[in-house]
Structure 1
């Protein structure tokens, strides 16, 4: 029931700042036109004198609205809002909420959101209530901006390439997030590639008509689904209806009370909350610690995204949350790979095909089971390989059939360990090297410079046959 733009006392406090911003814009325009302010100050004074009170008030209202927006802005303005409640607007919003939840109990054939919008808006318009409508919807069909092609200059876009890439990335994240929310609500599975290609085509065409880039909107999607839209057809109909309103129903739609939309958005916000996830918070494993306090990494990520989305920007918050989640995931995978991939004596721990290994060779041959990817997050554990091998070792078998991937950091760590073992006359045997790790090792000549082809085996049986012949021969030669 409170609108900062309508609180003239609050708006007037921003008039000096509004005048300053308008003057700054004039100076920027003159700089773009090549006008030197010090030489042509009369032009600046002339333009400043043409500023109207209406322009100042419009800018001041924009500043007031921006100051009161978001969670922080709402908290700042809350005492003033409570003193200046517009009771008519509050009643309209509450009526909308009651109809939305109440009509669902009667029938779900007709979307309760649509019923609330028509009924409350119709009553407000029919009885001539002095309500605040939504902002005016522009009318008419936009024309293509041909200057995009005819006046194209590479120098005009180069300063904004990084910004464009950032917006594209964040827009993609936002769209995929919306798709996941829609999947959870409709029990379907979206196709990410098609989603992003469609978004790119839409933004490209929209730019030709002077539009700004957009992304999937979670709130609008949730409203669509809650209103009964479950297929692609519902999204297409929504787009056609928006075009129809733009062309023919702009004046009528502009009469919808803003309080009605506020009531709809409140119900959408309540509906989009993940109550199942919130109830699961106490049972999540507490895998990170801050001094004496232990916390779940999942909860920490959720809190970070919640705080950033509430106080800053939803899209940036999601991006930062993805980065933190990726780092956490890599840390966990690295720790898990290190824990599962220690060097083991064959007489202590053996896989099924290692059970019949000769007893007299078990003190001479050691084995490393690599379980999981070898990447920069797990290299610190793998670097301990040389420390885990006792002085009595004559051969080390590295079983790689469960190492599906190795990155550059893991590759160089592997090379360093192999060089060390070669320097200490320890033979290294590789078993069941998968395609990607083998390709990487061949690229930097680990194969065949450090590990010759005859020391690479397709299975452990072939490796064991080589060990029985060569390790025995080595021991006999040393005894002689």
Structure 2
């Protein structure tokens, strides 16, 4: 425990933690609203994830909490589950929090399995495209609240969904009766009776849910934007624009005080002080956060099974987000983080946060940088940031509930603009076409279709392209030459000119795997019919998989049918062991025909190969 709590720099940790907490406050509220669970969910996430990730994590100066990528994915999950629960957040909440709980547990498992060591191998184009897509999603989806348009309040728009709402309600009745075993011809009067009990209020509620679903996401926003622009709430727009102007303008004056906090205080103060008719955020409950025991008592695995992949995505995304921030912290503090311990800490934070209704979080780069610059050195600084936000919750929750929704929309617009990977976008003209294709594919698919699909597609594309390139490297570096050709081998021992038509060297460079085997086999066909001896030079074959073993078997079999003697030079241990397991060595190639160096091989050729010309 002595290494966990070091109080030598407590003053710096105190200042760093409070400063990071101040920066985190407006973002936590904004991310909570954006997620669909309300500002309190963002604040709870910042408190619990921030405190416990700092306590158990592997990066001393890391500040954790809701982030733009985690919120964007959470927003999709939340909207999907709410849609399956008649638009009722209270009904959907246990399932939503269960998914978040699973994401935290998955992160702990990833840490225990030491997956954190391998996160660094995720291709940059995938990360770049994903981050830019997150920026697009946040930016576009905040256009409607920034102009004061909410689909469920547009009566004409909602009215258009009434026929569909009636169909949805009737379908639910039929499903319920099917589950009860009474959906038969003899009991149609029960179905008719239940249908007659449907009220206008129920239809209106379902219509609002359908309207909200239609207007959600990037495509939904684009669809309803023409309607929204016809009924702009100019007060909401002015509050959002004022927020954006202060955030960017105040940074030019000083960076000592976070500009987001200044914008939040100033614009909220103007709206409240002048008693403007603005739209406030949802009420933040005062007092202690409540434990959501329904996660465990009402757990229904069948209802959350479709979201297992979403929980895994959250877990991996949080891992990537956190470890990238850890690298930034390492560079600033000249320290070395522990990636697997960091994943365990993040997982514990997200697990506990879910139990109290918080949205998932990860290591936050800006907040971590602020903490370090303000003097934070140990994990105590991250814990203080969480405790500071907890104190804010207990003291000013009633005031925070009066914050204009448009102000938080303005804050999120600046977050969306800032989170995009401009470095990657600017590099497009200089990047290889394949990497540009991966990045743009992830960006477009994530923005307009699905974040999870985009990541999987990007990883598959990157893997296939990588394997193709590695296969090309192997083929381009491999050749067949006569033993008498220049640069055919490194031995200084010279052979008789008469043997140049009979002894050939087949050199293989690079990994011999499924991506290169077919071309390597084709290369074997270039060995002339005059050959009586072939040397397989394998010292530069770095790796061989099972496909490579089968390819070697076919190459050796083909040469044996032509009565060609096969010699092997410089075979690495891994390759030799694999060939021994399938008995190619010594059944087809005896141990005495395997040489450590080309010189030893050349001596054997001189002594044993006769000119048959």
| TM-score, structure 1 normalization | 0.82
Q: Unpaired segments of 5 or more residues in structure 2? A: 1-146
Q: Unpaired segments of 5 or more residues in structure 1? A: 286-295
**1:388 counterpart SS class:** coil
Q: CA deviation at 1:391?
A: 1.6
Match of 1:316 in 2: 453
> Higher Cα Rg: structure 1 or 2?
1
Q: Tell me how far apart the structure 2 counterparts of residues 246 and 41 of structure 1 sit (CA, whole Å).
A: 53
Q: Is the 8 A contact 1:94 1:263 kept in 2?
A: yes
Distance 1:22 1:301, change over 3 A: same
Match of 1:3 in 2: 150
Q: Is the 8 A contact 2:329 2:369 kept in 1?
A: no
Q: Tell me how far apart the structure 1 counterparts of residues 219 and 579 of structure 2 sit (CA, whole Å).
A: 54
Match of 1:381 in 2: 519
Q: Tell me how far apart the structure 1 counterparts of residues 552 and 281 of structure 2 sit (CA, whole Å).
A: 64
In the alignment, structure 1 residue 433 sits paired with structure 2 residue 571: yes
In the alignment, structure 1 residue 98 sits paired with structure 2 residue 98: no
Please list the CA deviations of residues 283-306 of structure 1 after superposition, one character each: whole Å capped at 9, or x if unmatched: 234xxxxxxxxxx11111122112
Match of 1:284 in 2: 431
**1:425 counterpart SS class:** coil
Distance 1:5 1:128, change over 3 A: farther
**1:61 counterpart SS class:** helix
Q: CA deviation at 1:57?
A: 3.5
| TM-score, structure 2 normalization | 0.66
Q: Return the match for 2:314 from 166, 171, 176.
A: 171
Distance 1:76 1:168, change over 3 A: closer
Please list the CA deviations of residues 258-316 of structure 1 after superposition, one character each: whole Å capped at 9, or x if unmatched: 2112111211122222222222222234xxxxxxxxxx111111221121111112232
Q: CA deviation at 1:179?
A: 3.8
Q: Is the 8 A contact 2:508 2:537 kept in 1?
A: yes
Distance 1:455 1:366, change over 3 A: same
Q: Tell me how far apart the structure 1 counterparts of residues 523 and 208 of structure 2 sit (CA, whole Å).
A: 66
Q: Tell me how far apart the structure 1 counterparts of residues 226 and 295 of structure 2 sit (CA, whole Å).
A: 49
Q: Is the 8 A contact 1:120 1:260 kept in 2?
A: yes
In the alignment, structure 1 residue 67 sits paired with structure 2 residue 214: yes
Distance 1:416 1:247, change over 3 A: farther
Q: Return the match for 2:595 from 448, 457, 461.
A: 457
Q: Tell me the matched-pair count.
A: 456
Distance 1:334 1:259, change over 3 A: same
Q: CA deviation at 1:347?
A: 3.4
Match of 2:468 in 1: 331
Q: CA deviation at 1:29?
A: 3.9
Match of 2:256 in 1: 109
Q: Tell me how far apart the structure 2 counterparts of residues 311 and 301 of structure 1 sit (CA, whole Å).
A: 16
Q: Tell me how far apart the structure 1 counterparts of residues 456 and 381 of structure 2 sit (CA, whole Å).
A: 29
Distance 1:134 1:460, change over 3 A: farther
Q: CA deviation at 1:456?
A: 1.9
The answer to which structure, 1 or 2, has the higher relative contact order (CA under 8 A, 6+ apart) is 2
**1:384 counterpart SS class:** helix
Q: CA deviation at 1:418?
A: 0.9
In the alignment, structure 1 residue 84 sits paired with structure 2 residue 84: no
Q: Return the match for 2:175 from 4, 25, 28.
A: 28
In the alignment, structure 1 residue 253 sits paired with structure 2 residue 397: no
Q: CA deviation at 1:470?
A: 1.8
Matches within 5 A, 1:67-466: 67-137=214-284, 141-143=289-291, 145=293, 148=296, 157=301, 163=306, 166-179=309-322, 182=325, 188=331, 192-202=339-349, 205=352, 209=355, 214=360, 216=362, 221=364, 224=367, 236=383, 251-285=398-432, 296-350=433-487, 353-360=490-497, 361-466=499-604
**2:490 counterpart SS class:** helix
Q: CA deviation at 1:395?
A: 1.9
After superposition, the CA RMSD in angstroms is 3.5
Q: Is the 8 A contact 2:323 2:339 kept in 1?
A: no
Distance 1:151 1:307, change over 3 A: closer
Q: Tell me how far apart the structure 1 counterparts of residues 341 and 209 of structure 2 sit (CA, whole Å).
A: 38
Q: Is the 8 A contact 1:178 1:216 kept in 2?
A: yes
Q: Return the match for 2:162 from 15, 25, 28.
A: 15
Q: CA deviation at 1:463?
A: 2.3
Distance 1:268 1:213, change over 3 A: closer
Q: Is the 8 A contact 1:172 1:215 kept in 2?
A: no
Q: Tell me how far apart the structure 2 counterparts of residues 166 and 235 of structure 1 sit (CA, whole Å).
A: 30
